[in-house]
Every structure is written in C-alpha cells, then in structure tokens.
Amino acid sequence: MKKRKTITFVFLVFLFAGSTMSAQQPAIMRCLETDINGAVTITWTAPENITGFVSYEIYYSKNGSAFNLIATIDDANTTQYFHPGAEANLAGRYYTIQTNYNQDSALSDTLQTIFLQLDNNAPDFNKADLYWNALHDPLPEGSSGWYRIFRESPPGNWQFIDSVPNDSLFYSKPEIVCLDSISYRIKLENNSGCRSVSNVQGATFKDTDYPVKPVFDSVSINLDKNAVLGWEPSVSKDVSGYIIYRDENSTWIEIDRIEGRDSTFYIDTDASPCLESVSYAIASVDSCGNKSPGTFLKPRKTILLDDVVYDACANANILSWSEYLNGVPQLEGYKIFCSRDRGPFVVVGQTLPGDTVFVHDSLITGSSYVYFIRAFFEKGSSTSCRKAVTATGYIKPGFVYLANADVLPSYKVEITLDIDTLPDNCTWQIWRSDAGGGNAQMVGNVECDKPQQLPLKYTDTTADASLGFYDYTIKVLDSCGRETLISNEVKTIFLSGTNTDANHNYLQWNAFEGWDAGVKQYYIFRMTGTNKPTRPLDSVDSQTLEYTDDISLLPDTGGPIVYWVQAIENTGDTNGYQEKARSNRIGATPESELFVPNAFNPNGNTTEFRPVFRFFSGTQYLFQVFNRWGQLIFESRNPNDGWNGRYKGHDVEQGVYIYRLSYLNADKSSVIKRGTVTVVR
C-alpha cells in the first residue's frame, strides 16, 4: 500500500508538471474500446526512440482525479492492454500511460472512454436522443473525422445507421415501432488501425400516437334485458378495434374487445340494466395496441326505470327513472310508452330533459299497465327496460278497538289495541288528553306495514299517571293519510288518598271508562314495606269509588303503606276481551310512633341499636352514634340498619354513648331527636 501511494504521488508530480519537463518521449494514446461488459481495451503507439526504455505503467481512474496503477508492461513493442474490471458501461473511465526510462519518464495524454447516454423521450418513447463525450480535446492523433452510429434491433443484429462530424457529440433519431428495445453504440476509427468504441446503451421505444376515440352515441336495453351500445367508428385509419368498459363499484373494468374499425355496436349479456343503471365507456385501439383516451369523462348510462308506484289514493301510476347523461347529439327529452292489458304501446306523455318523473292518471281499476321510457335526440334514442303494474285499488282499515289502558308501576301507561291487519299500509295514531282530561294531542303512532302481534301493546312513555287520569283514543289513517276510523275512548284510573287519623286511610278514585262490557268490580291492593301482596285487600262494586282502610291491627313493618286499585271487566265483551286496569300507586302512611331504646346488649337478645318505627314514610333519614369525646363511630341512612356495638371491627367498651336522629316526616317537616344509649356487656 505504501508503494502504491508513492507511485501515485510521483505520477501526480508528472501530471501537474506536464510532459514538457521530460526529455524522453511518451507513448501516444490512440483508442479506448469498451466492450458490452464494460471492459476496456487500451491501444497506443510506442515512442519513436525507445533507448533506455524500462516499462509502461498504465493508470486508471473512475473520476479523472484519483488514479491507480493497474498494469506494468516491460516490452516496449507491446501497444495494447485489456482492462476487464473497468466498468466503463456505468460511466466514463480515464486512462493515461507513463513511459519509464533509465533516467527519466514521460506521461501520455489522459483519455476518457466514450460514454454514451440515451434519452428515449418518455413518456412519448418515440425518439432516440444520443449524447456522448470526446476522448480528449483535441482528439487523439490519427482520429477519423466522423463518429459512426450503430443500432441493434433485434438483439444481435448491429447495423451502421449514420455518422456525424467528430466535433459533434449529439445525435437524434425518430423510432417508429409498436414496442421494442433498441440499443446504440458510437465508434471512432483511428488511422493506426484501432478504434474507440462507446458502451452499449439501450431503451424501450414504442408508438405513442394514440388513436382518436369513437363517438359513443347511445346505450339502450333490448327485449332480452341486455344493454346495447352504439357508436360511430374512429376517424383514425390504423384502428384495429374497440375496448368496452363497464363501471363496477366506481372502477372502470374492461369487459370485452371488438375487432374491426367499422364495428359500431356491442351487446352486454352479463350486466343487469333492469335492476340498476349501468355506465359504459369505449376506447379505440390501434394495431400497436395503443388505446385512445376513451369516453370515461362522458360515459353513457342506461336508463333505469324504477318500479312503477301505484297511488291508489290518486288512481295514478307514478314513474321515475334515472337521467340519460351525455347524449350525442344533445338530449331533447323523454317519451313515455304504455301498453294496457297487453295492447299496443302508445305514447302517453313526454317530459323535458332533466324531468325524470311522470304521473299517469285516470287509470282503470283492475287493468294491468306496462311502461318503458325512451330518451330521444337527433338521429338517435335510448330505451329503458319495461316495468308492469296493476291498478288494484286498496284495502281500507275495517275496525279498531281500544281494549285497555293500564297504569304501570312506573306511572307510564300501557294501552291494548285490537286492530285490522288486512290493509297493506295505514297508521294508528295514539291520542291522549292532559292529566285530568281535556286538550287531546297525539303522543305516538304505529305503522301497520310492520308485522304485528295481536293484540297490539303500546306503552305511552310520555305519560305520568301520578298527576291525574288520562283519556285515550285511537285515530286510524288509511294509506292515503286520510282519517277513516276513531276508536272508543278509554279513561285511566286516578287514585288519591289521605290519613283520616292514626288508624285509618281513606282512598278515592274515578271510574274506569271505555270497556265494551263495563266494569264488574274494583280490587283494592295494599303493600306494606317491601311485601308485595299476592291477593287484593278487599273489593267493591263498580258503583263504589271510595274505600276506608283500618290499619289499627296492621303489624309493625317499619316501611311505608302503598295502595292501588284494579278495575275488572265484565264478561260479554263483543270483541272477546276481559281486561284488568290498574290505577296509579299512592303512599298513605300516617305519622309513625317512634321508640328509641336507652340501653342494649350487643351479645344479648337485641344485638343492634336503632330507632324503631311502626311505619316509616319519611325521607332524608340520618342516624348517627358518637362516643363521649364526640367522635362519630356509626352512621346509617337506612331505617332498617342499626349499630352492632362495634367500631372499626372491634367491640366498644361498656358505657354511655350519644345518638342523633334526623329525617323529614310524611308532612315534609324536619324531625331531630338526640339522646343517650348505654352499652351493656
């Protein structure tokens, strides 16, 4: 490595000093010939006077500045060297020869291999522009006055095609091919018998002169329900056929190719133009396979005639269809053709461009009608599929019965309907008064085009039956939106009550109304605490709308007293119903007696200390226990929870403790009680 650096340094001294500093003659560089693999053959002529000759040293550089010694030749008559690792097919490479004598050395000119560059003029790919560099300025002694240009096509077939003066480093040639890979190389002859040859440079060329697209003038649907496309031939003479595209999910898919420039129609048997509007585009293709830009920006779209809607209310058929776009010539309008009861098709109407709805009225009930739409324009038309419909009339709702209105524990109201399910389309509107009656308004509706389970249940979630009774009715709208029926009116039960004294609660309610068979009797239900009753407390006849409950013998439950009333329907309802209707629930708990023990034994019979109520219907309950230092050791907001004589998991000491009780009673008055309790162990 040290020897190479020394040689390189000496060489650079000679390079900068120039050959004029030496009395000896250098070798004369003549040619650099690059082969297809990038290897270089260097050719030179020996000096005229080789007295004292020692060797030729050949130097090589990839960039023209840093040179490396690649060969030493001892024979003065050897005038050629082959450099296999030059990589001159990647870039221009530099060579120079130092001729060494006994007492001196001489340096030749530095030559650069001819590096050819090729531009195929993408994206046109139709012209070859060649660029290259000179070996040296001036060219080596004996160089020809012309660069010769060679072309390879097909592979292995090299032909001389032209030459340019040796002061020109550019050549351009049009390439008219469908699609081919073409290579070039440059040669410069030398009168010494050698030649300089460039690297091989190739590229792909093709015919990019696109043909003119056809005039896509129409798309129709034939009687076989297939789309038929029509167009005028392309004016390009080298067109060999046409490409048919169909839009599938917003992507243009090539579906077929039609041979022949004069082909003018295509039938698509794979699409379903009677179920959806289908878009098509066409492109021309020439003998080289070049495609025209196509008609994608202005596609043709089949006319989709939607299902014809029969309006029984207006005794008319309503037709609507998709717009015919990009007609050539310009669209003039649409004609509506109709056949009644398999008769001939006649024009029953016409609309302007952009108007894609038509109403065919004055129909004959029971007749069948078949329609198709035809877009028309000068010298052309486009036809839709055919659609049939029968003018059948409609079924009016026959009956409606409001069977019940039951108040739920949540104070919402569940109503029960007996309805006519034969109509294909109708609406049941739920109408309700304000609480206490009056000012009826619609609170909901049910569409009968949905499968219904009879009887129909509907919950009025906007009701609050704790505020008063409600009057309900049902209004039935037919398929035309006309009110055809109104049901019976049903009144819910509103229950109210008071404490007449500590042992009696008085209840009263309004009569339930609306049942076909009337009310048989009323059941009175009472619930104390959380114990739900399994049977009524008592019952009264249908004319009695009040009840007094004696609670003097009612056992101590500690919880509130809740009441509700249930109406029972008589037998004989003509609609086959026997319903039950509940009222709202109310609390009727008298102000409770209160007892607070003054001592308890956590290990005895009474293991908890808490206030004891006969009934409790108060709110904001808070019970607290403190030790004698005022530290809170127990707290509860549940009247049923008591203190077990422990604090933080440990038994408290025997002794006196302080309690505090506060709550709002049934009259919403604040009650506060303080005292002491003794823990006995």
Same fold, 309-390 and 400-485: yes
Classify residue 662 as exposed, middle or buried by CB count within 10 Å of its CB (0-12, 13-18, 19+).
middle
Q: Is the pLDDT of residue 562 over 50?
A: yes
pLDDT tens digits along 583-596: 999 987 666 667 88
Percent of the chain residues topping a pLDDT of 90: 68
pLDDT tens digits along 78-97: 999 999 999 999 999 999 99
Q: Is the pLDDT of residue 8 over 70?
A: no
Alpha carbon distance 317, 303 (integer Å): 18
Alpha carbon distance 596, 671 (integer Å): 14
List the structure tokens of 536. 């009524």
pLDDT confidence of 112, banded at 50, 70, 90?
very high
Q: Is the pLDDT of residue 47 over 60?
A: yes
Residues in the chain: 681
| Residue scoring higher pLDDT (40 or 504) | 40
Q: Is the pLDDT of residue 110 over 90?
A: yes
| Residue scoring higher pLDDT (114 or 12) | 114
Q: What pLDDT was estimated at residue 15? A: 38
Alpha helices in 293-338 (DSSP H): none
Give me the mean pLDDT over the 322-333 stretch.
84
Give me the mean pLDDT over the 330-341 stretch.
93
CATH architecture of the domain with range 400-485: Sandwich (2.60)
User: Which of 106-120, 388-402, 464-478, 626-640 is the least confident region?
Assistant: 388-402
Q: Does domain 2-112 have CATH number 3.50.50.60?
A: no
| Alpha carbon of residue 501 to chain centroid | 70
CATH for 117-206 is 2.60.40.10
Q: Is the pLDDT of residue 147 over 50?
A: yes
User: Which of 74-83, 453-462, 513-522 is the least confident region?
Assistant: 453-462
Q: Could you please state the CATH topology (level 3) that the domain comprising 594-679 is classified under.
A: Immunoglobulin-like (2.60.40)
Q: Is the pLDDT of residue 558 over 60?
A: no
pLDDT confidence of 325, banded at 50, 70, 90?
confident
pLDDT tens digits along 408-453: 999 999 999 998 888 777 889 999 999 999 999 999 988 876 656 7
User: Which residues, including other chains, have CB under 8 Å from residue 501's CB and lie 6 or more apart?
Assistant: 590
Please tell me whether the peptide bond between 455 and the residue prior to it is cis, using omega within 30 degrees of 0: yes
CATH architecture of the domain with range 309-390: Sandwich (2.60)
Q: Does domain 495-587 have CATH number 2.60.40.10?
A: yes
pLDDT tens digits along 269-311: 999 999 999 999 999 999 888 889 889 988 999 999 998 998 8
Question: Strand pairing partners for 197?
Answer: 33, 187
Domain ranges within the chain, ordered by starting residue: 2-112, 117-206, 215-301, 309-390, 400-485, 495-587, 594-679
Q: What pLDDT was estimated at residue 9? A: 33
Check: CB of residue 146 under 8 Å from CB of residue 187. Answer: no
Q: What pLDDT was estimated at residue 140? A: 96
pTM of this prediction exceeds 0.75: no
Q: What pLDDT was estimated at residue 5? A: 35
Domain 215-301 -> CATH class:
mainly beta
pLDDT confidence of 98, banded at 50, 70, 90?
very high
Amino acid at 609: F
Supply angle C-alpha 650, 678, 665, rounded to 5: 100
pLDDT tens digits along 9-35: 333 333 333 333 446 899 999 999 999
Q: Is the pLDDT of residue 548 over 90?
A: yes
Q: Beta strands of 209-356 (E only): which ranges?
A: 215-221, 227-232, 239-248, 251-259, 265-268, 279-286, 300-301, 309-311, 316-320, 333-340, 346-351
Give me the mean pLDDT over the 662-674 stretch.
82
Q: Is the pLDDT of residue 54 over 80?
A: yes
CA distances from 625 to 184, 535, 598, 630, 679 (A): 108, 41, 13, 9, 12
Q: What pLDDT was estimated at residue 559? A: 63
